[in-house]
Chains A and B, each alone.
Chain A
Amino acid sequence: MYIFNSFIKIMKKTIKHIEPWLWILPFIVFSFVFSIMPIFKTLIFSFFDLNSKGHIVKYEGLNNYFYLFKDKVFYKSIYNTYKFVLLSVPAILLLGFILAFISEKTKHSKRYELVFSIPCAISPPVAALIFQTVFMPRVGLISKIFNIDFNILYSKDLSIFALAFIQIWLSTSYAYVYYRSAFRNIENSIVDNAKLDGANLLQLALHVYLPITLKTTIYLLFANTTTSMLMMSLSNVLTNGGPQYSTMTIIQYIYYKFINTGSLTISNTATVIYLLVFMPLIILFYFVLNRESRK
């Protein structure tokens, strides 16, 4: 009887130890299988030749990398991705902040909040189709208003600007929503004190609102850079790589090789290079998050 009681005590104690892990277990299992293990598998399998299901066919060593380094389209896609990120991310943050600031100061600010946040609900492929019609010569909105007969999506140099424009249209609404809710958390006393000190609107924006919402700005910077670096749906739907590969991004290159070749080899190796290119941003973001969440 005594042994039975102590056994029950030990059982309860171990359950008390294990119980938190049971609550976290689904997250750990699924994130390990679908987020962490693929990184290692990608690295290891990049030295092999893979078939269409991902099974190893034979050992290749560095040949996959040599193939990639000889492929001009791959270099172009890395360049295009960087260009796309640099075109879209600063504009998204700037526009989001300005719009949030302006629409808070005017009347009907709630109606503006609804209007400016509707592009959040539109997904990139849908926006791509809508803007394809908008950009179409002779038919679309832009050519009807400005009388231009020029399809920006067929031009080698300018099509990536069109894609960046669509991405800015989509993501500014996200930035707007986050900035609006961040502005709501600012105490009225700070704003009133600044106004009493005679701040005009520009000074109010630069010296009061911008420093207080620095966390939001950092988060949006990283999130939008990630989204822009992962962009493939816009260029896949609109230009399919673009006039002479001028809109092909890295993820689209990976998808393109996945669809066109029967095997996963080149896509896998390209994913490794993508992760290496992306790694500084991931590490930076991780350290910033770590420091902020410990406070």
Chain B
Amino acid sequence: MMNENDYKTIDQYLQGALSDEQEAMFKKRLAEEEELAAAFAIKQQMASYLKAKSQQPALEAEMTVLGQRYFKTSKPTKAKLIKMPFLRIAISVAAALVLLMLVWNPFNSGDLYTQFAEHPPLALIEKSISSSLIQQAEQAYANKEYETVYTVLASILENNPGNPQMKLAMGISALELGKLETAQQIFSELANGTSGLKSYGQWYLALSYIKQGKDEKAKLILEKLNNDEAALKKKAAKLIELLQ
């Protein structure tokens, strides 16, 4: 017979929280107890379902880009427009990226990133560093050549404390390049610091979570955004609304 403890054990097993000995015992029971095995199977399916669902928006966004690249369609791609109460995305024929509104409502965030990721112009100044390097990074940033920005700034910041503008530019580049862990490290630093770019750190941290499909985490940060940057606060309010 199943008891409450059994459900707890199933959870712990799925989270990898059992000791080797407990795990071995649990697996033995799975092989012997039909009821336990059935309950376990469903829990497993539910966990897999939730995981896949949380990854789906990012996957669909990626597939949209790749689909454009690898399927030559004779007419402009029809987007699957799903009725969302607040937003209808127009398709740009010439655009390399087609913005799709995704079906699954609660996890919808794959293309929100692209919508809101408009990067501010950044002037990178640092007295002690060669101006040509800085100029190279600045130019590359303006041209959205994020690979270059990232490489140049990473090398500068290796030997220099740098400044918040450089860190933000590097974080943005990391984000655009999909180096999410690095990006989040940088943004967290800015968000928790006292520089003038604190709000930007918070904003971009939220955006990085959106890119990962972690909507709830993003919302939490956006709600706590500092009030000093009116434009950001406004964008954040809009984004929070879209995330409902």
Binding partners A and B: no
Give residues in B with beta carbon < 8 Å to A. none
